[in-house]
Amino acid sequence: MSTPHLDLDNLLDQLAQAIQQAPFFDPRIKMIGLRTGGEYIAQALAKRLQLNETIGVLDSSFYRDDFATSGISAQVQPSNIPWDVADETILLVDDVIHTGRTIRAAMNEIFDYGRPARIILVCLIDRQGTRELPIQPDFYAYATAAAHRFKLHGPVPLSLSIESLEDTQ
């Protein structure tokens, strides 16, 4: 299986353009990035979208349904949402959506901060065909059903590495 070559800047431009063209878009929209890859994508998108608000950051590790069995990672950091989520439209940003479990955990955490008007899911990459929960991105830049591992590095410089899962076995 060949490993795709993806132009990260082009993917981010595509995402930003699609979001700007959506009827809900407003430069005052709130954005939350999931630590760490989603945080990096959110920072890059916020610049492209010229958002007025500081982005929020979530580390939903404590909200995961496998927390009791996997334990706490040494890399867990506190979440930070610097504004009230109540009645806001929120762009929830992650780098790769795979099973949907990280997104479910993030939404649970967001609701502990308040009840948003709506949550719009934005992902750089949609690994289709692997979902365990009925959660789908509203916006994504690249979709694949292939078995690849995507790793975002950043924040500066922001880069994406891709490897075939067949190569790692």
What confidence tens digit (pLDDT) does each residue in 7-45 have?
899 999 999 999 999 999 999 999 999 998 899 999 999
Are the C-beta atoms of 28 and 53 separated by less than 8 Å?
A: yes
Are the C-beta atoms of 12 and 141 separated by less than 8 Å?
A: yes
pLDDT of residue 47: 96
pLDDT of residue 160: 74
What is the spatial distance between Cα 98 and Cα 85, in angstroms, rounded to a whole number?
A: 25
Q: In the numeric block, which tokens belong to residue 75? A: 């890399």
Are the C-beta atoms of 109 and 60 separated by less than 8 Å?
A: yes
Quickly list DSSP for 114-130. Answer: ---SEEEEEEEEEETT-
pLDDT of residue 70: 53
pLDDT of residue 14: 96
pLDDT of residue 69: 52
What is the spatial distance between Cα 66 and Cα 12, in angstroms, rounded to a whole number?
A: 31
Residue 30 CB-density burial (10 A; 0-12 exposed, 13-18 middle, 19+ buried): buried
Are the C-beta atoms of 95 and 45 separated by less than 8 Å?
A: no
pLDDT of residue 85: 97
* Buried/exposed code over 66-88 (b: 16+ C-beta within 10 A; e: otherwise): eeeeeeeeeeeeebebeeebeeb
pLDDT of residue 151: 74
What is the spatial distance between Cα 135 and Cα 99, in angstroms, rounded to a whole number?
A: 8
Are the C-beta atoms of 4 and 144 separated by less than 8 Å?
A: yes
Q: Could you read off the pLDDT of 105-141 as tens digits, one per residue?
A: 999 999 999 999 999 999 999 988 889 999 999 999 9
Query: 3-class secondary structure for 30-79?
Result: EEEEECCHHHHHHHHHHHHHCCCCCCEEECHHHHCCCHHHHCCCCCCCCC
Domains and CATH numbers, the chain: 8-65+85-168 (3.40.50.2020)
pLDDT of residue 119: 98
Q: Could you read off the pLDDT of 42-96 as tens digits, one per residue?
A: 999 999 999 999 999 998 876 766 544 555 555 667 899 999 999 999 999 999 9
